[in-house]
Amino acid sequence: MGLWEKIETIARTIYGAAEVTAPANVRNQIAKFEADGFGHYPVCMAKTQYSFSTDPNAKGAPSGHSIPVREVRLSSGAEFLVAVCGDMMTMPGLPRVPAANSIRLNQAGEVEGLF
């Protein structure tokens, strides 16, 4: 099974999607990964954890929705492909502003801004 077929199979059989979409540049990237010998890699889907769809407001397990694949990333060392779906941050749980932005030295040379 090719990479795109793996993505479609996961989306349809696990997430209940009616269709999977991707722009031409994503489909071309998938074709390039396959041509480069990575087509046998398993696929990891990165999407919201709140729903089987890519809409975090559609709680639970809706069916018949579309899953848009906006990006694919090759993890060649770990030997898998990541399909980034919808409006998804790839490191969920991290704040938009890192805590490191608040860490500083005060005039006495002491560290401030740590938890």
Counted residue by residue, the chain has a size of: 115
CATH number, position 81: 3.10.410.10
Residue 114: inside a domain, yes or no? no
Q: Does residue 41 surpass a pLDDT of 70? A: yes
Under DSSP, the state recorded for 35 is: I
Specify the pTM.
0.75
Residue ranges making up the domain that contains 48: 3-90
Q: Would residue 112 count as lying in a domain?
A: no
Q: Fill in the amino acid letter for 97.
A: V
% of the chain beyond a pLDDT of 70: 96
pLDDT of residue 115: 66
How many domains are there within the chain? 1
Cβ contact 67:54 at 8 Å: yes
> pLDDT at position 92, please?
59
User: What is the 3-state composition of the chain as percent helix, strand, coil, each rounded to the nearest 5?
Assistant: 25, 25, 50
Q: Which ranges constitute the DSSP H helices of 10-97?
A: 24-33
